[in-house]
Structure 1
Amino acid sequence: MAEKDIICIVSSQYKAVFLKINSSTTILDLKFDAAEMLDLPYESLILAYEDQTVGSLKFLIENDGDLTSMVEHCHNLGLKEVHVQAFKEGDDSSNKQENEQVRQDILKSKSVDCGPSALLTTSVPDKNPNDNPSGDDVMTIDDMISRSERIPAWWHTALTGEGQRFESAKELRLALLYYSMAKKFEYEFGKNEPKRIRVFCWFKAAKNCPWMLFASPPKNDNRLEIKKFVDNHSCGQHDNNAGQSRASRRFIATQLQPTLKVRPDIRPIDVQKEFLSSYGIRVDYSKIWWGKERAQEKLYGDAHESYDQLRWYVEEVKKTNPGSYIHVEQNEGRFTRLFICYAACINGFLYGCRPLLFLDGTFLKDRFKGILLSAVAYDGNQGIFPLAYCICDQENNVNWKWFLQGLWSILYERPDPYNPPHKLVIISDADKGIREAVREFFPDSIHSRCVLHLVENFRTKLKDLGFKSKDTQILGNLLQSACYKYTRAEWNDYIDDIRLVDERSYNIVMNYAPENLANAFFPGVR
């Protein structure tokens, strides 16, 4: 039986939002959604659960374990909703003592005796003089890296001591990873099994460092419990890079998921810099790249599997949305092209849109790249109305012909008695095979160029001929103004100005064919 979701009411001062949570919800997802909907900073957001059943107690929700425990508690009590407060760190007076205690724990953890070589410190790093005229001092990159104010507080308390329990070995390993990064030390496994984990400081043999952790299931319980925890180092081997060798792809993906929701186009090199500046963590570029791939897969699904499910998707669309036109083309079982036009889009265009079609292509930026070809219309509310789109390998004459053949089929081979307008106006940039495809499948249509594409193409040709940037800008503006004029006299005035500047620019304009670009020469009914 599927687990029922719990309604989580997250409030902040006078605002509140409803969110659905269950045992699979992560603290990252909950905090991100709450911060986004309540307009609070994600980095300093604190969540607290108010339990009215035990005397209005308030519990901080700092990690996935806290969130899972809260969900289980609500299920055990049969609660269908839960109240959670959201506030910025230090803003809620009722939680100042808890926050101060967390800070004190962090300060204590930084003062662990790790020998004279230890770099962990709570004091502000020394500043180095520079040659600024103002005489101000600046910190070096190493000074900034050694500061750990931006490391989340719960990283420092991911491991609390003997008796702490974890749902699985996977959860314990992840907590150990966060803890070692916050405390900046390296570790190695003595035993790494599903039911028994023994961990030592990396320098146990070399420096006889006593730090260790042992966890195994207690009696009649499948969870792992920390049976022994010696949280003390004597190796003196802490430095800014310590604890980072185990920054796995999974860890990077977990940290990246909230960021990718708002910045899906973020580059791996930018992620690498942010990890360094935010947490002082140096991570290899390859790990960052694969971590981003895993985060995208977690958020949006596996791209390879999605392509493999296209056959199923075609059948489901035909069953649930009759009248739709969808076709997948394959070559020896390998995907090559996809054409999609839904029934609602067809009817919307035929009955509610102007006889205008805009054609264009753009790049796809997933793992397999490719091109998205699209045909959109213009509805009666001055809005863009999608008609059909195609996914293919590249923008060329062959793919445009294949796409426009599909468009012609859905418009002119319909059993519906309604006939589409015979005179379609098709607007595009007229490059990369569109013009030839339009002439073949829509010979009676009026094919016009997009003015902005045209002007940009015109300026590019002028630059190739050696025109100065100022001249190309002026001539492009003249051509754009001429295209928007409604009388031939006005058109001629601007074209004469172009001709006076340079005869070559005039010849380029006339080769475009005025009837394909100017309002004054438009042959159809406006």
Structure 2
Amino acid sequence: MDEIEGSLVAHYEKLRSYGLQLLRTNPGSTVKLDVDIMPDSIVHFSKMYICLKVVKDGWIEGCRRVIDVDGSFLKGLCRGEVLSAVGRDANNQMYPLAWDVVPVENKENWKWFLDLLLEDIAMGQGRGLTIISDQHKGLIEVVKERVSECEHRQCARHVYANFKKKFTGAEYRKLFWFAAKATTTKFEDIMKEIKLIESTAYEHLMKKKTNKHMV
């Protein structure tokens, strides 16, 4: 397979050519390649951002102003993370918008990704935009600084993953998801039920401002 496809390490040597090919076949796309130059002048890959022209045009023209951003680990020979932005189309299906390969998920790399993404989709400071994410501290800080006018909501699945570490049981799980999907009035009633069971569970969730910032 190495003879046919080449090694994964060797693929990194072709990234610049890959980026140029994307720009040639998809005019108007955004491809950014960042490298680190070592003291011995050897060039190492740092990060790469890709947003295809037809995809960003489709999001601007036909998708609701909601974006989910998240990171996923690369577990092969070359480690790192893929940062991605996914929208929702008119059929409420996932709409991949842009992606970025970085060495680690941190504030600096999230800023690099979001700066390029917001420029591509012409959202400026995020007025009218909703961003959904996990609770990564670096990302939360970047959204506050860079997209101050957007509505930033936390993914309920991530909120529940932390919640169930302290509060286990089927009753907590049932009430949590009822609350996450409820209207404002019904939400308040369900939260009262949680408070009756355990006041600290109620306080834990209210610190997340779940009635405004959880989806």
The change in CA–CA distance for 1:439 and 1:420 in structure 2 (over 3 A counts) is closer
Deviation of the 1:383 alpha carbon: 1.5
- The amino acid across from 1:320 in the alignment is T
Deviation of the 1:311 alpha carbon: 1.2
Provide the C-alpha distance between the structure 1 equivalents of 2:45 and 2:151, rounded to a whole number of angstroms.
Answer: 34
Among all aligned residue pairs of Structure 1 and Structure 2, give the percentage whose two residues are the same amino acid: 31
The change in CA–CA distance for 1:393 and 1:359 in structure 2 (over 3 A counts) is same
Q: Which residue of 1 aligns with 2:178?
A: 481
Provide the C-alpha distance between the structure 2 equivalents of 1:355 and 1:388, rounded to a whole number of angstroms.
Answer: 15
Q: Which residue of 1 aligns with 2:203?
A: 507
> With structure 1 as the length reference, what TM-score do the two structures score?
0.38
Aligned 8 A contact 1:456 1:476 in 2? no
Aligned 8 A contact 1:447 1:516 in 2? yes
In the alignment, which of 442, 452, 464 is matched to residue 147 of structure 2?
442
Alignment gaps of 5+ in structure 2: 38-42
Deviation of the 1:323 alpha carbon: 0.8
- Find the residue that maps to 1:382 and give its secondary structure: coil
Q: How many residues align?
A: 209
C-alpha RMSD of matched pairs (Å): 2.1
1:340 aligns with 2:50: yes
- Find the residue that maps to 2:121 and give its secondary structure: helix
Q: In the TM superposition, what are the counterparts of 1:6-405 in structure 2 within 5 Å? A: 295=1, 297=2, 300-332=5-37, 333-405=43-115
- The amino acid across from 2:144 in the alignment is R
The change in CA–CA distance for 1:496 and 1:400 in structure 2 (over 3 A counts) is same
Deviation of the 1:436 alpha carbon: 1.2
Provide the C-alpha distance between the structure 1 equivalents of 2:5 and 2:148, rounded to a whole number of angstroms.
Answer: 41
Deviation of the 1:432 alpha carbon: 4.2
Deviation of the 1:353 alpha carbon: 1.0
- The higher radius of gyration belongs to 1
Aligned 8 A contact 2:126 2:149 in 1? no
The change in CA–CA distance for 1:446 and 1:300 in structure 2 (over 3 A counts) is farther
- Find the residue that maps to 1:405 and give its secondary structure: helix
Aligned 8 A contact 1:412 1:420 in 2? no
Aligned 8 A contact 1:329 1:337 in 2? yes
Q: In the TM superposition, what are the counterparts of 1:462-477 in structure 2 within 5 Å? A: 462=166, 467=167, 469-470=168-169, 473-477=170-174
Provide the C-alpha distance between the structure 2 equivalents of 1:346 and 1:475, rounded to a whole number of angstroms.
Answer: 40
Q: Which residue of 2 aligns with 1:142?
A: none
Alignment gaps of 5+ in structure 1: 1-294, 414-418, 519-526
Aligned 8 A contact 1:411 1:420 in 2? no
- The amino acid across from 2:68 in the alignment is F
Provide the C-alpha distance between the structure 2 equivalents of 1:376 and 1:347, rounded to a whole number of angstroms.
Answer: 14
> With structure 2 as the length reference, what TM-score do the two structures score?
0.89
The change in CA–CA distance for 1:420 and 1:433 in structure 2 (over 3 A counts) is closer
